[in-house]
Structure 1
Amino acid sequence: MKRFLIAEVTVAVFVFNLASCSRGAGDALAPAPVTVQAATPKTALHAFTSDQELRSYLKDLADKQKRRISRRQSIFGLAAPAAKSVAPSAVAGYADESITNVQHAGVDEGGIVKLHGEHLVVLHRGRLFTVALGDADLTPISSVDAFGPDIDPRGTWYDEMLISQDTIVVIGYSYQRGGTEVGLFHIDAGGTLAYQSTYHLRSNDYYSSRNYASRLIGSKLIFYSPLYLNLWGGDPFDSFPAVRKWHRGATQGEFRRIVPATRIYHPANSTDDDYDTALHTVTICDLAGGSFDCKATSVIGPAGRVFYVSPQAVYVWVTAWTYERDKAQSKSMLYRMPLDGSSPSAVGVSGSPVDQFSFLESEDEYLNVLVRTGSAGDGMWSAEGTTAGTALLRMHLASFSDGTQSIPASNYQKLPNPEGYALQNRFVGNYLLYGTGTGWWYPQKKNSAVLYAVRWTDGTVHKIALAHGIDRIEQMGDAAVVVGTDGSDLHFSAISLSGSPEEKVDYIRKGASQGELRSHAFFYKPEDQDTGMLGLPISIPVRAGYRHLFDESSAILFLRNDGLRFREIGELNANPEKAKDDSCRASCVDWYGNSQPLFCAWSRDCIARLRIGRGDH
């Protein structure tokens, strides 16, 4: 467990590894904003007309599920599964400029470091900090608790932050109070922080080892959460998505439902066989003017899920598993929930994606998805397993309807199935890249692996031999960088995607491993399409991936990309001996990481400092 406190510039740098950051830090080269004019579905899902109709439907569903479980018990002698515990989702904000390694440019993701004018804003171990950016210094300005003054933070995790204009949104989940906490803070031009208010939302927790619960597009805060329905006890409406403003002595009666029956949509196929039913909810809150006006849309479906946010819509892929004697079968449904508030649509699909990076809504009005048989979705550590088959689904957006239709087999292209665990995948330019590595486990001795590059427009498959596993795939201009270990050393492979995809260079950092696993731990600062700088936290060799939750990174390594040739600029070392006890009260394990590389764009001095004497900063 780390015990840090920002009390001076050096501590600010080493605790959060805010390596030479600046107001000029540009967007990571995420795919360009998509300008899809989605074809209108022939039909959409049907909403319930009233609470009475919804209540009747839920009662009927509960009766059917009871009968099915009873039959299953009589056949197998199995006990009914315990109901899942309830937990909520996340919220976000907007900054002047993205310093986050996001999937889509223009779609910000909840994270731990954001930029506001001349200041960095950091969410760390239950506290908010601001740091002023200067040509040579990072000066601490302000710090406050990431929760309200009358809130007991025990049992609460504050994991995501977004900024909209001068409003900072901190999203947490309280196991003590049983709901999502959304804290609003004001930040002024001088970087001073002030607490404003807290809202509680009723929902289940969205937790994933890869994905993020919240997104921000303009002033619209978007978050997804599944709410697992307990159909057999009490009034189900008592657990439906709702919001209340927090104050001392707040009661359950103050919750206001934010999803009426007329915004809850019928499941597109039968979920009778699935006793794990969820209300998949997309909530959009308008943060303009510091308000918190939220509206929600829900669909009823199986509990298993992967979700993806494009600039136009939220996609939720749900999978129901049924077991007959010793056979397991799955059926999946893909929902499209437009961000303009129009009705959701759905279509039957096969298999399941690995995580959010398995999706791309492309400019030609197609949705492209890497799917696998037996995939368990992007829940906590679910994406780290292995499955039997891999395919590329390519479907036109007009294929969505009321869910009575399914995508034909001809839309799935069978792909080579990689050996191993912890599949990584990413759409970069016109290619889908994928392969397997170590993930959260201990590095394996591996001196060969295959990176598959699939041109998604025509299905052409290329195999690229690498001398290491594949633990991270990131965009780097028109190219990609693949990071992985051979069991002892850390490799950075530059992959050219112009012409026939190929590895151009393999830069090896001896005696190192990745210090962080999440996508936000990487950052690439382009200077033009062929040159730029990248940064990644590193740690000691042969360290298990999960140790990043408990151990800080040894350093952040900086490389310069010159036409797909890498050279080391320097590194920023941690200084644990300067750490101080911060009397942590909440979020004392960094699920979302504790290191993030950032770059300055206007000061040569900050780059020079990295070149001179490592560990002196």
Structure 2
Amino acid sequence: MLNKVRFGAALLVGTLALAGCRAADELSVPDGDGAGLEAFASEDAFERFAERMEELQGSQQTEYVTTVDIQEDAVAEAAPPPPVAPPPPAALEASAAPRAEGEQITNTQEQGVDEGAIVKDAGDYLVILRRGRIFTVRHGGNMLDSVDSSDAFPPGEFVPGTWYDEMLVRGNQIIVVGYSYGDFGTEINRFTLGDDGSISYRDTHYLRSGDYYSSSNYASRMIGDELIFYAPVYMNWADWRSTMPALRRGGANGEVVDLVEPESIYATPATLRGKYPVGVAHTVTRCDLSAAELECEADAVLGGWGRVFYVSPRAVYLWTEQPYMPDAEERDPAQLYRLPLDGSRPGAVPVEGAPVDQFSFSEDRTDDILRVIVRGDSNQGGEGMWGAEFSSGDVGLLTIPMDSFTDGSERIPQEAMRELPSVVGYRFHNRFVPGYLLYTAANYGSESDGRFFYAVPLDGREAQRIDLQHGVTRFDIMGSDAVAIGPASGGALGFSAVSLGEDVTIEDVYLLPSASEGEQRSQAFFYRPDSNSRGGLSGTLGLPVTRTSTGSGGEFLGNASAIFFLRREDREFSPAGDLVSRAKAGVDDNCVASCVDWYGNARPIFLRDRIFALMGYELVEGRIENGTIREVRRTNFTPRGRGER
């Protein structure tokens, strides 16, 4: 089994010594209207709250430890620091050198909500993030040529223990999001993409935070010109100012500005009264990419360590675990927070159970409700690190009207929770698809588990059990239908086309021999409907696969040896074939930073009428003719030694 945390990852392991430490009196809470969450009235009120939290924690403060010593980890950060580069060019105005926006090539959960990724289209170029570097490959003009590369960090300022994970592109801006264990927390580096595909460093900002990493979710989103981050901040109440969410511009000596004041830190009435200790400020930061200087603002809510978050076009939703209260006869419930993206007042609702990942949520903007599928264990830790890979408990579907998000003290009616058939296994998969919720569970290394799933009609009709010829490790959307993908007998990989009509049916099944998924990230899958296909019933599916066994867990770090393409004609599958990697094992890429592919390294790319396969440092173009894909050309952009540039 793969280790639950990445090298250098921090886990919250300190325990809170509460016995005998209950304060005599609760803190006073200002009278509110109950329509939304209350923030702290003043800095003095927050200071009193911090003193109460410190008292409740007792003598044992929350600690953070690394599971692997970064200095001794040969894979992570063993390489020497890079040479000092010449001073960066002056920052350009955000409106300078306008360029056409690229095509959406990332498989996102919500239309219009872009997600941080490892590859983006930018006009005539593909921009690729891998192992601490950014690369550009020209595809415009029917070309496929490697153009430029750059370190993903400030010139000459790499801090050991920093991981560069996600990338977004807006106009001529390349935004790289990383996390540093040796510095301030979340690192935001911006670069300028030239008309010739060149990359030049622009600026760096740091957000004080804990690690946002999740094996299933992405920390950054982009809606128009607005960049949105989620990050937890672990509070040290004895010195709360030093852990307050803050923004630092530039290097270690840059100006530090508090990103949130006490008046923009929200909490439920029970939390404000100081009934129990809370150790995390969950922050949502929003930055304006259209401004010449990056301008950011943030809100925070206080809650437990475990979390799952979901971003819709209208709001950020954050589910936090129940507070730690070992000496309380009745625990306060977990909370689901809603932070509107229009800047209006956040709200919360008490909840039970816990979602597994962001795909457990679906905002229905027509009926103005939020649906969430939950399992019964409220303290399974959420999706932080590898938490989404392990869950337990019964299953229910929660339907929450938007006007239920108030101050977090009013429980929603019991009938809002719809009991669903239970499934056995701690590897839980769920997905909202048109008109339905699909879910199943299995255990690792057991292909016989999970050979069925439940389809739950969202109109209230009874759940339907659907039997399969294979297990399920992925649900996704194919036009107006869905697809279930997972391991089958004999080492095959199964694909089942799921028709979403009045009843759910399996229209067709294809078993790919001697193959397994090469990537488990949601963005590794892509389905492009044919332009003349009504409802997307015909199209092409792309998925990274591996033809060799590397043991359990290989799919979590990017283990693809090929991108497999599956054609669909009127709901019938036919294999189109592979675009295969020719990369040689053991080639030294002179990696300096972020030398593990935590977000994978392979993607199918459908770009207008062209098809590409990204596999590590290779980009292969293919063309489907007579139902079969054949290679047209390829480029290899493996970086050379630093002295060879």
TM range, normalised to the smaller chain?
Answer: 0.7 to 0.9
Q: Work out which of the residue numbers 560, 566, 569 in structure 2 matches 1:559.
A: 566
1:582 paired residue number = 589
Matches within 5 A, 1:167-182: 167-182=173-188
Q: Call closer, same or farther: CA 1:268–1:539 in 2, change over 3 Å.
A: farther
- Note the 1:159-170 alignment, pairs <5 A: 159-170=165-176
From 502, 511, 535, the counterpart of 2:514: 511
Q: Retained in 2: the 8 A contact 1:370–1:393?
A: yes
- Return the TM-score normalized by structure 1: 0.84
Residue in structure 2 matched with residue 57 of structure 1 by the alignment: 49
Task: Tell me which residue corresponds to 1:315.
Answer: 317
Offset of 1:524 from its aligned partner? 1.0
More displaced stretch, 134-143 vs 527-536 = 134-143
Select which of 460, 463, 473 maps to 1:461.
Answer: 463
CA–CA distance in structure 1, aligned partners of residues 486 and 130 of structure 2: 27
Q: Does 1:107 align with 2:100?
A: no
CA contact (8 A) 1:221 1:284 kept: yes
Residue 133 of structure 2 corresponds to 127
CA offset digits 1:515-554 (Å, max 9, x no partner)? 0001011111112321111100001365545223556311
Equivalent-residue separation in structure 2 for 1:544 and 1:395 (angstroms): 42
Distance in 2, Cα, partners of 1:615 & 1:540? 22
1:548 lines up with 2:555 in the alignment: yes
Contact in 1 for aligned 2:103/2:607 (Cα 8 Å): no
- The within-5 A match list for 1:324-343 is 324=326, 331-343=333-345
The residue matched to 1:335 in structure 2 has which SS?
A: strand
Shift of 1:190: 2.5
CA distance, structure 1, for counterparts of residue 331 and residue 185 of structure 2: 33
The alpha-carbon distance between structure 1 residues 329 and 470, as it changes in their structure 2 partners (threshold 3 A), is: farther
Give deviations 1:33-58, integer Å, cap 9, x for gaps.
Answer: xxxxxxxx961111112211111112
Alignment match, 1:435: 440
Distance 1:567 1:226, change over 3 A: same
Query: How far apart, CA to CA, are the structure 1 residues paired with 2:415 and 2:608?
Result: 48
Name the structure 2 match of 1:43: 35
Question: Which among 240, 244, 250 is matched to residue 240 of structure 1?
Answer: 244
What secondary structure sits across from 1:269 in the alignment?
helix
Counterpart Cα distance in 1 of 2:584 and 2:191: 32
CA displacement at 1:492 relative to structure 2: 0.6
Matched, 1:607 2:612: no
CA contact (8 A) 2:321 2:354 kept: yes
SS at match of 1:577: coil
Mapping for residues 150-549 of structure 1, pairs under 5 Å: 150-231=156-237, 233=238, 235-247=239-251, 250=253, 254-270=255-271, 275-322=277-324, 324=326, 331-362=333-364, 363-374=366-377, 375-437=380-442, 441=444, 443-446=445-448, 449-486=451-488, 488-527=491-530, 528=533, 529-540=536-547, 543-548=550-555
Match of 2:598 among 566, 591, 603: 591
Contact 2:265 2:299 (C-alpha < 8 Å) held by counterparts: yes
Q: Distance in 1 between matches of 2:64 and 2:586?
A: 39
Q: Is the 8 A contact 1:135 1:603 kept in 2?
A: no
Q: 1:399 to 1:204 in 2, by over 3 A?
A: same
Which blocks of at least 5 consecutive residues in structure 1 are unaligned?
Answer: 1-40, 71-79, 87-92
Cα distance, 1:380 vs. partner?
A: 1.6
Contact residue 281 and residue 303 of structure 2 kept, 8 A: yes
Distance 1:330 1:517 in 2: 35
Post-superposition offset of 1:423: 0.6
Q: CA deviation at 1:325?
A: 8.3
| TM-score w.r.t. length of structure 2 | 0.81
Amino acid of the structure 2 residue aligned with 1:373: G
CA distance in 2, matches of 1:138, 1:224: 35
After superposition, the C-alpha distances for 1:146-180 in whole angstroms (9 at most, x for unaligned) are: 11113124211000001122111101111111411
Compared CA separation, residues 393 and 117, structure 1 to 2 (3 A): same
Q: 1:583 to 1:323 in 2, by over 3 A?
A: same
Contact 2:209 2:232 survives alignment (8 Å)? yes
Q: Any conservation in 1 of the 2:622–2:631 contact (CA below 8 Å)?
A: no
Separation in 2, partners of 1:279, 1:608: 50
Cα drift, residue 614 of structure 1: 6.7
Q: For the residues of structure 2 that align with 1:237 and 1:340, how far apart are their CA atoms?
A: 28
Q: In the superposition, relative to structure 1, how do residues 118 and 464 fare at CA in structure 2: closer, same or farther (>3 Å)?
A: same
Contact 1:306 1:378 in 2 (8 A): yes
Equivalent residue letter for 1:245 = R
Superposed displacement of residue 586, structure 1 = 0.6
Structure 2 residues not aligned, in runs of 5+: 1-32, 67-98, 612-620, 635-645
For the residue of structure 2 that corresponds to 1:236, the secondary structure is: helix
Counterpart contact for 2:136–2:149, Cα < 8 Å: yes
Contact 1:331 1:351 in 2 (8 A): no
SS at match of 2:47: helix
Change (3 A) 1:85 1:287: farther
Instruction: Name the SS of the counterpart of 1:410 in structure 2.
Output: helix
1:402-438 per-residue CA deviation (whole Å, 9 max, x = no partner) reads 1110122111000011122211111001101111245
Which structure would you say has the larger RCO, counting Cα contacts within 8 Å and 6 or more residues apart?
A: 1
More deviation, 235-244/93-102 = 93-102
Q: What CA distance in whole angstroms lies between the structure 1 residues aligned with 2:345 and 2:500?
A: 38
Cα separation, partners in 2 of 1:321 and 1:265, compared to 1, 3 Å: closer
- Are the aligned partners of 1:573 and 1:615 in contact in 2 as well (CA < 8 Å)? no
Change (3 A) 1:331 1:222: same
Q: Secondary structure at the match of 2:174?
A: strand
Within 1, Cα distance between the matches of 2:264 and 2:100?
27
Q: What's the CA shift for 1:276?
A: 4.9
Q: Distance in 1 between matches of 2:392 and 2:53?
A: 31
Note the aligned Cα RMSD (angstroms).
2.6
Relative distance call for 1:521 and 1:549 in structure 2 (3 A) is: same
**CA gap 1:448/1:105 in 2 versus in 1, 3 angstroms:** closer
Task: Give the direction of change, closer, same or farther, for the CA distance of 1:278–1:94 in structure 2 (3 Å limit).
Answer: farther
Q: Partners in 2 of 1:167 and 1:312 — Cα distance? A: 24
- Change in Cα spacing, 1:101 to 1:544, as seen in structure 2 (3 Å) is farther
State which drifts further: 104-113 or 483-492.
483-492
Residues 485, 81 of structure 1: CA spacing in aligned structure 2 closer, same or farther, 3 A cutoff? farther
Deviations along 1:332-369, one digit per CA (max 9) or x if unpaired, are: 11111000111111111111111100000102101000
| Pairwise CA distance, 1:205 | 1.2
8 Å contact kept, 1:352–1:372: yes
Task: Please tell me whether the aligned partners of residues 375 and 391 of structure 2 are also in contact (alpha carbons under 8 angstroms).
Answer: no
Per-residue CA deviations over 1:294-335 (Å, capped at 9, x if unaligned) read 000011122211111010000111112546489996721111
Relative distance call for 1:354 and 1:404 in structure 2 (3 A) is: same
Q: Distance in 2 between matches of 1:327 and 1:584?
A: 53
Structure 1 residues 579 and 525: alpha-carbon distance in aligned structure 2, compared to 1, 3 A threshold: farther
Cα offset, 1:268, TM superposition: 4.2
Which moves more between the two structures, 236-245 or 512-521?
A: 236-245
Provide the rounded CA distance (Å) in 1 between the counterparts of 2:304 and 2:327: 21
For residue 166 of structure 2, what is the amino acid of its counterpart?
E
Segment drifting more, 122-131 vs 539-548: 539-548
